[in-house]
């Protein structure tokens, strides 16, 4: 039996996935969480085999949640689930320690296949995500402005474009507001913008967030 935890900040999505997986003879959902913080606590309590982890959540989000889980648990398999298949999310999650990445449009049978494969020790990526990762390897990373950023800079950039204030970012990353602003201006310089608004527009153009 594969013990699974489902993490998504949208109740309907989370409950829908749980209900659909309930029909699988070899998969059992042992817990649900609506935030990254709750997911971390649930992993400590339940020690599941696989986590279905939403990428875009308020507060710490999927990337930071993955990193924090990996600090105390290398065995649990993490399958990222997102409505976004474009960079930098797939590469960010892969570097953070996920075992697979599928999109929310993935059919149920493919999701079950992905769960079984990562549980068995393999990797699984939706075809569109795999294509994005292949493109990243085959092309000059400078062609994608967000690929010029370090992992922490990408994390801060995603927080900024998701309308989090410097104070909120500082609280979540356990740094000072001054440090956050240093990151912001460094990000601006690397991607060629001069404001949070322009950074957000750039993220929209590259499909990182929805308009």
Backbone angles phi, psi at 61, to 5 degrees: 75, 175
Tell if the pTM clears 0.75, that is, is over it. Answer: no
**pLDDT tens figures, 103-141:** 888 899 999 999 999 999 999 988 777 766 665 554 444
Cα gap 139→135, rounded to integer Å: 6
**pLDDT on residue 140:** 47
The domains found in the chain, sorted by start residue, are 2-137 (3.40.50.2300), 141-205 (1.10.10.10)
Of 105, 106, 206, 103, give the one whose Cα is nearest residue 158: 206
**pLDDT on residue 202:** 85
**pLDDT on residue 85:** 63
CB 170 within 8 A of CB 164: no
What's the whole-number mean pLDDT along residues 7-26?
91
CB 63 within 8 A of CB 57: no
| Helix 177-191 × helix 151-161 angle, to 10° | 100
CB 151 within 8 A of CB 208: no
Cα gap 174→128, rounded to integer Å: 35
Task: At 209, list the tokens.
Answer: 């967030």
**pLDDT on residue 210:** 59
Count CB-CB contacts under 10 A for residue 84: 19
Task: Evaluate if residue 92 carries a pLDDT over 90.
Answer: no
What's the mean pLDDT when you consider all of the chain? 86
What's the whole-number mean pLDDT along residues 138-150?
65
């Amino acid at each position: 039996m594969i013990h699974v935890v489902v993490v998504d900040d949208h109740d309907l999505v989370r409950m829908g996935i749980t209900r659909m997986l309930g029909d699988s003879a070899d998969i059992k959902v042992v817990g649900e969480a609506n935030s990254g913080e709750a997911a971390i606590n649930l992993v400590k309590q339940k020690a599941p085999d696989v986590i279905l982890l939403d990428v875009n959540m308020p507060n710490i989000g999927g990337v930071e949640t993955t990193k924090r889980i990996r600090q105390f648990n290398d065995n649990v398999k993490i399958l990222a689930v997102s409505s976004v298949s474009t960079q930098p999310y797939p590469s960010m999650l892969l570097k953070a320690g996920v075992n697979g990445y599928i999109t929310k449009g993935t059919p149920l049978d493919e999701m079950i296949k992905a769960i079984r494969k990562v549980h068995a020790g393999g990797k699984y990526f939706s075809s569109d995500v795999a294509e994005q990762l292949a493109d990243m390897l085959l092309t000059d990373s400078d062609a994608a402005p967000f690929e010029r950023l370090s992992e922490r800079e990408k994390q801060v950039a995603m927080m900024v474009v998701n309308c989090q204030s410097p104070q909120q970012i500082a609280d979540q990353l356990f740094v000072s507001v001054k440090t956050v602003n240093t990151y912001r201006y460094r990000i601006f310089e690397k991607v060629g913008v001069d404001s949070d608004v322009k950074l957000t527009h750039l993220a929209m153009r590259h499909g990182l967030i929805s308009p």
